[in-house]
Structure 1
């Protein structure tokens, strides 16, 4: 018995990520959700794959080894004007988010990202953060936001303090002091 889904109805996704383990995880996760995934690890291959495979969706890691994918957003947009381009980054900042959107990205997500948020963003839906029923959506202080960001980066670096400090552009001892001072809940 043949499947009723044809190759033309399966959405194509180009994953541009130099972390092979993370790229493979994204590929498996999104293939299970019905995407036909192609993954590459540099800007030249991203442009070539975009031309060859005509993806409907493009996931870009902002930092690839020695390259920055912000520089290929415009060419990708010219090759595939209807594709959704999502920038993924462990180096989240308002400035790069604004730059990415101005260059033609459709959305911007910080790593690590959960499957629900990623799928919703690919489909063009905004996902509201899951509210804790025990708290009435309290506003976080700057210190609490910084703490959460540090924790996300630390998790992405599998607890490696030195790698996390480099990624956050701070001295290792400064990071250790910040980790010892967990901000009080408001």
Structure 2
């Protein structure tokens, strides 16, 4: 498939050289030597990516970058820069550029970077196309992850049926949000979804909460009581942590789902219901079946329509968009200015495993935003677990990430003066050199 590239550089020889090289890799390339020509070609051709030199004679490259984004924010832009303008290139990334390549250009590196940028852009466009087919009920589901988007598409299709649905996923992944999404996209959305966490009730009370009781059914039953199955009649019932119910209760739920009827405690007659059932669990139900803790027949009744919510560590592209959402929520709720994350915190967040998933991320953001007295959140504002050297991540320890970023930050402040950096860090120069080797830190990296 041919890809279209726009090269913007005031050096004609650079443009011709890049065009010649990219011709061999199925690119159709256009070039512009100044801002007016660049904007004209950007509008004329549906480009897949832009290579932009920020130094365009009298023209402002950053201004042109912003013009490109205003015309089409989905086109990835890679900055071409000389050593003297690296800081400007970094500033351009903060404005939205995909990345930068330093001159003299390593073509192989540039080609790899460009291919990755275009693939990412195409994926985002495909995701946007899927998102556009979903109605406004998705607004509470904040994601850029293709698995979550596909899950929403499947959930919307299932919402139009009355079959029971089982939502699987670790604690804190957002199973309740998926249940809300299903209900809001169903024909039952005019009613309120009824929710209950099964693990919150002891065995002696769970049946009463689910099915209700008749007056006089037991000591203290002075009036009849409707359980959640009845209260959700004509609407949807969400039972979270269904694996925590006793086997006798599971049998009653199976009958309620199959026969669409329940019997109150102390009742002599069954009561017909039209309740849509949605269950969720963070447990391995097949393992629970093997240990005789979950009914196999109920499992197969629910297993027909299952939705698996991926953990946050498997959709790390969602970390920053979720963080931005939670920061906006916090600022609005507390009437404060919107805080941002420091680069070091962003790095730590991406390396952290998030065992508590989205719920842990939200709690972390709320804590840090409360603690921080600045307009940004840095490492000192994070909960202690992020500074715990025993907190293991997929690739490294969080403490290593913190230490690496601290060293890089100090080196930058001292213009890579090793002696001064070691003094500021309160370590010997030998220790500093050992850590530079350990973390692969070189000058300018």
Band the TM-score falls in, shorter-chain normalisation: 0.5 to 0.7
Give the TM-score normalised by structure 1.
0.59
Distance 1:80 1:30 in 2: 23
Q: Which of the numbers 60, 63, 88 marks the counterpart of 1:68?
A: 60
Q: Which of the numbers 102, 106, 126 marks the counterpart of 1:110?
A: 102
Q: Which of the numbers 29, 32, 49 marks the counterpart of 2:21?
A: 29
Q: Which of the numbers 76, 92, 109 marks the counterpart of 1:100?
A: 92
1:40 paired with 2:7, answer no
**Unaligned runs of at least 5 residues, structure 2:** 118-414, 418-445
Distance 1:45 1:19 in 2: 14
Q: CA deviation at 1:142?
A: 4.3
Q: Secondary structure at the match of 1:123?
A: helix
Name the count of aligned residue pairs: 122
- 8 Å Cα contact 1:59-1:85 kept in structure 2: yes
1:57 paired with 2:73, answer no
Q: CA deviation at 1:95?
A: 2.7
Q: CA deviation at 1:21?
A: 0.9
* Counterpart residue number, 1:121: 113
Within 5 Å, give how 1:75-154 maps onto structure 2: 75-124=67-116, 142=416
**Unaligned runs of at least 5 residues, structure 1:** 1-8, 126-140, 144-186
Q: CA deviation at 1:77?
A: 1.5
Distance 1:91 1:80 in 2: 29
Indicate the RMSD between aligned Cα atoms, in angstroms: 2.3
Q: CA deviation at 1:10?
A: 0.9
Q: Secondary structure at the match of 1:124?
A: helix
Distance 2:83 2:35 in 1: 18
Distance 1:112 1:22 in 2: 10
Q: Which structure has the greater CA radius of gyration?
A: 2
Q: CA deviation at 1:64?
A: 1.1
Q: CA deviation at 1:92?
A: 4.5
Greater helix share, 1 or 2?
A: 2
- 8 Å Cα contact 2:81-2:89 kept in structure 1: no
Q: CA deviation at 1:68?
A: 2.6
